[in-house]
Amino acid sequence: MKNDTSKSTLSLFNRRGFLKAGSLTALTALLGTDIVFADRLPPNYLPMVFDTDPLASKNKNLVVLNDKPWNVETPAYLLDDAITPADKMFIRNNGLIPSAIDVAGWTLTINGESVKAAKTYTLNDLKTKFKAHTYQLVLECGGNGRAGYFPKTSGNQWTEGGVSCAEWTGVRLKDILADVGLKDDAVYIGYYGKDLHLSQDPTQAVISRGVPMQKALEDETIIAWSMNGADIPLVHGYPLRLVIGGWPASVSGKWLHTIAIRNKVHDGAKMTGKSYRLPIHPVVPGVDPPASEFRIIESMPVKSLITFPKTGLEMPVGQSMNLRGHAWAGDRVVKSVNISIDFGATWQLADLKAPKNRLAWQHWTANVKLPQQGYYEVWARATDDAGVSQPMVMPQWNPEGYCNNACHRIAIKVV
C-alpha cells in the first residue's frame, strides 16, 4: 500500500520540493492576494501564514508539550465537561497539519488487497448514501500518563490530559465496507491521512495505523465529518476522520482520505517496530527487549480522572467536599469507582453513571469528609466489568511508556 500513500498524499510540493502550480493557486486563493516572490520560495518551504496555529481557538490553560509537531494536553480540571468541547480537546499530531484543504474535492477511497474493487466516495456520497450515527467516544493517546514512568521513557511527557470524549457523527465503516464488497481474506484495515511529514517530504508517510476487521466492523467505528454538532476542527481532522473508541487514539486517523483493507496486519507508518506496542512478557524497568517480543496495543486499560475540584484546593475545616470525574475502560464497561482520602488504605464507593453509549466515558460523583486540618490526597480508582482495577502506583513499566493507568490523585489542604 506504500505506493498508494505516496501518490495520494502528494499535496503541496512537487518532486523537487517546489510548490506545485495547483497548490500555489489554492494558497493564493486562500490568502486573497498574490505571493509576490513565489518563484523564489526555497524548496519545501511552506509560507508561514499557512502554518496553522491550532492553539488560537483553544483554552489558554492547555499545556504545550511540543510544537513541532503539536502535542498539547488538557489539565484534568479542564476535562470536567460531560462531553469534551473542541477548545479543551488535547492535540496529538505526528506531522504537520495539512494546509489548503479542498473540501469540495475531498474523497474517501477504500482500496487494498482485500477489496473486490476499489471505490471512491465524495463527502456528499457519504452523507447521503448511508445512515448517519452519533456516538460519544473516548479517544486516549497510547502515551497518556507517560510522564509517570520511571525510569523515564522517551516521547511526549503526557501527564493525564491526553484523553477526550466528544460526540462524533458520521457513517459506520461497516456500512461502507458492505457497499464496497470485501474478499474473504480481509484481516485488517489501515488508514491514510493528508498530513505532511515533519520533513515536508510528501513521499514520507506520517502515520498510517489500523485495527483488525472485528474492531473495524463494530457499530461504533465511524467515518465522521462532525464533532459536537459542528464541522470537525482542522487540528482534529477536518473534514473527515476515522473514529474508533476504546483503543489507542492513534488508530483514529485524522484528515482521512483512504482506508486500505489488508490481507495481513497493516504495516503502515507507526504500525511496525515498537510503536504502540507493549512487551509480551513483563520486563524489569529499564530493560528493552527486541521488537519481536512486543505486541500491538488493542483495548486501552481501565482508567479514571478527578475533574473537580482542581488539585491544590484549600478548603475550610468542617465542610464535606463534592468530587466528580469520568471513568472509562477501553472496550469494557466500568463497574465501579472508589475514592480514597488516606493513600489507598480505605475506599468509599462513588456514584457511577452508565455510559451514554458503548465506548463513551462514564461520569462519577462522590462526597467525602476530610476529618481535620492538614494535607490530604484524594485518589480515584476505577474497576472494569472483568474485575480489573487501576493500579495505585506505576503499572508495568514498558520501554515506550504506554498505557500508564495509575490512579489519578489530587492534593487538598484543609485550613
Q: Which of 211, 280, 219 is nearest to 249 (CA)?
A: 211
Query: Toward ligand MTE, which CB reaches closer, 340 or 405?
Result: 405
| Dist. CA 83–CA 67, nearest whole Å | 26
Query: Toward ligand MTE, which CB reaches closer, 139 or 305?
Result: 139
Show contacts with ligand MTE in window 311-340 (CB under 6 A). none
User: Is the link from the previous residue into 355 a cis peptide, with omega within 30 of 0?
Assistant: no
Strands (E), 112-150: 119-122, 132-140
Write down the least CB distance from residue 171 to ligand MTE, Å.
19
Query: Toward Mo ion, which CB reaches closer, 92 or 241?
Result: 92
Query: Toward ligand MTE, which CB reaches closer, 126 or 414?
Result: 126
In the chain, count of helices (H) and strands (E)? Answer: 5, 23
Torsional sign, CA 81, 83, 87, 91: positive
Which residues make Cβ contacts (< 8 Å) with residue 105, sequence separation at least 6? none
Pattern 140-179, ligand MTE, x by CB under 6 A:
-x----------------------x---------------
As a dihedral over the C-alpha atoms of residue 128, residue 130, residue 132, residue 137, rounded to 10 degrees, the angle is -130
- Per-position DSSP letters for 56-72, written without gaps between them: TTS-TT-EEEEETTEEE
Write down the least CB distance from residue 248 to ligand MTE, Å.
7
Q: Which of 314, 405, 318 is nearest to 369 (CA)?
A: 318
Which one among 12, 86, 95, 106 touches ligand MTE, defined by CB under 6 A?
95
207 binds ligand MTE (CB under 6 A): yes
Write down the least CB distance from residue 143 to ligand MTE, Å.
8
Query: Toward ligand MTE, which CB reaches closer, 18 or 70?
Result: 70
376 binds ligand MTE (CB under 6 A): no
Write down the least CB distance from residue 392 to ligand MTE, Å.
25
Query: Toward Mo ion, which CB reaches closer, 112 or 142?
Result: 142
249 binds ligand MTE (CB under 6 A): yes
226 binds ligand MTE (CB under 6 A): no
DSSP tag of 249: G
Cell digits for 224? Answer: 465522521
Contact set with ligand MTE (CB under 6 A): 89-95, 139, 141, 164, 193, 195, 206-207, 236, 249-250, 252-255
